[in-house]
Amino acid sequence: MIAVCRGESSLPKSDFERILLEAVDEGLSSLGESSKVAVYFHLQKNFNVKKEEIPCNVEAFADAMEKIFGKGANFLEILIMKRLHEKVRGASRLKDSEDFTFTEYVASARRNLLQKCDV
């Protein structure tokens, strides 16, 4: 079951959550299937971040990834952001020149996608 985030608007919450989880899964798949499974296990066991709760705990997920991979987490976050961008069809309006974090990008994509669906 996908965790439901509080405080969002009319798009079924599970839609964005599903899209984000797919993007995370595809980004982590770049490590290989067994490594991806090991990362999810490590996230849950050592950081109490369950896969299905990532959409509601993006900051905790990003912090855990940084602790696991150090500077290498940036590479994975960029892959995840690219996948998310493809899936939401550019709903995030951040400019290439803006300095942003992974959590800010996800929040922007969520907000913009939800606004798009409200129209």
Q: Give per-residue pLDDT as tens, 99-110.
A: 678 998 898 888
* pLDDT on residue 114: 74
The enclosing domain of 39 has a CATH number of 1.10.1200.200
* pLDDT on residue 8: 41
What pTM was estimated for this model as a whole? 0.79
Judge whether 4 lies within some domain: no
The stretch 61-80 carries a mean pLDDT of 95
Structural contact between residues 102 and 62, judged by C-beta atoms closer than 8 angstroms: yes
Judge whether 81 lies within some domain: yes
The SS3 call for residue 45 is helix
Range of the domain at 104: 13-91+98-118
* pLDDT on residue 118: 54
Q: How many separate domains does the chain show?
A: 1
Higher-confidence residue of 2 and 30: namely 30
Judge whether 6 lies within some domain: no
* pLDDT on residue 100: 76
Where in the chain does DSSP place strands (E)?
none
